Amino acid sequence: MASNEDVLDDEKRPQFGNRYLTDPKNVFEHNAWDNVVWDSSQEEEARKKTQQQLAEALPQETTEMYEAKADHFWDEFYNIHTNRFFKDRHWLFVEFPELDSANDKTAGNREAGDDGKTDDSDIASGVENISLTATGTPVDSDEVETYPGENADFRIFEVGCGVGNTVFPVLQTNNDPKLMVYCCDFSSTAIQIVKDHTDYNPHRCHAFVSDISDTSAVLPMPDNSLDLVIMIFVLSAINPQKMQFVIDRLSRLLKPGGQILFRDYGRYDMAQLRFKKGRCLSENFYVRGDGTRVYFFTQEELRDMFSKSGLVEKQNLIDRRLQVNRGKQLKMYRVWIQCKYQKPASDAGTWQKSTDTAGDKAPQDFSRDTL
């Protein structure tokens, strides 16, 4: 369920480091500028634009149709693009070094002195998630895993994995045979592409079709079993009324000390402001021409939802980027939000927020791979 053409703009752009626009006359000297602060008139103009979009929102029955057929539209997307639309997200290891399970400092449970194993008492409350083993047959032997990845030392779950552009770089970077990467997507087409990949190994990766917002969906792993959950341009594709449920569910899956790694669209991103009449489903929630949907967040909204799930904020940054087309003399304002939220360690005191929690500080600088 990775997003489509708008994510391309985020991942295609190179990072130029801390390139700040100090003189507006120089705006077309480079292709992009970092941490561009909007003035009050620009923000007011954007607010009025979104109010007009909302005034022309689609009728309820149309909104319900897009909700009911969400998986269909993502299947159509991947039937058309297969694995050619995105390139692998190697840049994630700079933004989220936690993805390197070989680094003991990356897992909160290891910081707390845990060996990475899941205590049986921790998972007891979550066993209702489990139905079948990796082979699809009931377990009746102690020598067989009761769920895929039970014997792993480090477990990662990507929600909305698309065709594996995060999953496979993670697997390729981490050679640890005791790593298990779970991944799910709305689209059965996307999951089949993941399973057909030459690097797919069911002993280290478990891909499955699931709508994480479906309250009846059964997941293959128990509560309190995951070290990391990855959500990259995924929560925005879910009905806003279901977002809190999704975060609550994922929070329960985390081990004490585990983290959710998050990146998604920010309020008044160029992609939001360019939507025409007949594309608004509800406030800040839209449908693209291909039927896939997208929401645009504020930092406060995300802070509220993750905090309600009992998670501790480690990072909540807004990334404002000015991209320019020097040939056409066009300016494009992009807004993304990047977060890290951690489940408190059961035997630890009050967790301290990291120094990079608040404000408009940009994420770590690096050169991203093109898509």
Indicate if the pLDDT at residue 233 is higher than 90. yes
Write the DSSP string, 119-156: PHHHHGGGGGG----TTSS----TTS-SSTTTT-SEEE
The predicted model scores a pTM of 0.78
Tokens at 275, concatenated: 């939507």
Q: How many angstroms from the chain centroid is the CA of residue 347?
A: 28
* Helix (H/G/I), strand (E/B), else coil: 202: coil
Identify the pLDDT of residue 331.
64
**What percentage of the chain exceeds 70 in pLDDT?**
67
Mean pLDDT of 121-150: 54
For 326-347, the pLDDT digits (tens) are 565 566 788 999 999 999 987 4
For 62-104, the pLDDT digits (tens) are 999 999 999 899 888 887 765 554 455 667 888 898 988 645 5
Indicate if the pLDDT at residue 364 is higher than 70. no
| Distance of alpha carbon 327 from alpha carbon 320, whole angstroms | 22
Max CA distance (Å), the chain: 72
| Distance of alpha carbon 217 from alpha carbon 50, whole angstroms | 34
Identify the pLDDT of residue 155.
96
Residues 6+ apart with CB under 8 A from 315: 338, 339, 340, 354, 356, 357
| Sheet of strand 154-159: strand arrangement | 32-34, 312-325, 330-342, 254-265, 226-232, 154-159, 179-185, 205-209
For 10-40, the pLDDT digits (tens) are 444 444 346 655 555 544 455 565 666 777 8
Of the candidates 91, 98, 117, the residue with the CA atom closest to the CA atom of residue 315? 98
Identify the pLDDT of residue 53.
97
Indicate if the pLDDT at residue 149 is higher than 80. yes
| Distance of alpha carbon 264 from alpha carbon 188, whole angstroms | 23
The answer to whether the CB of 133 falls within 8 A of the CB of 143 is: no
φ and ψ of 194, to 5 deg: -60, -45
Q: How many angstroms from the chain centroid is the CA of residue 319?
A: 15
Residues 6+ apart with CB under 8 A from 182: 148, 149, 155, 156, 157, 158, 205, 206, 207, 208, 220, 221, 226
Which residue has 């008044």 as its token pair? Answer: 268
Mean pLDDT of 222-231: 97
Indicate if the pLDDT at residue 235 is higher than 60. yes
The answer to whether the CB of 322 falls within 8 A of the CB of 36 is: yes
**What percentage of the chain exceeds 90 in pLDDT?**
53
| Distance of alpha carbon 23 from alpha carbon 274, whole angstroms | 26
Mean pLDDT of 219-227: 96
| Residue 144 pLDDT class (50, 70, 90 cuts) | confident
Identify the pLDDT of residue 143.
47
Indicate if the pLDDT at residue 197 is higher than 70. yes
Tokens at 351, concatenated: 């967790």
Of the candidates 304, 297, 316, the residue with the CA atom closest to the CA atom of residue 361? 316
φ and ψ of 323, to 5 deg: -105, 140
Taking the chain, what is the end-to-end CA distance rounded to the nearest angstrom? 16
Identify the pLDDT of residue 39.
78
Residues 6+ apart with CB under 8 A from 86: 2, 7, 8, 11, 162, 163, 165, 371
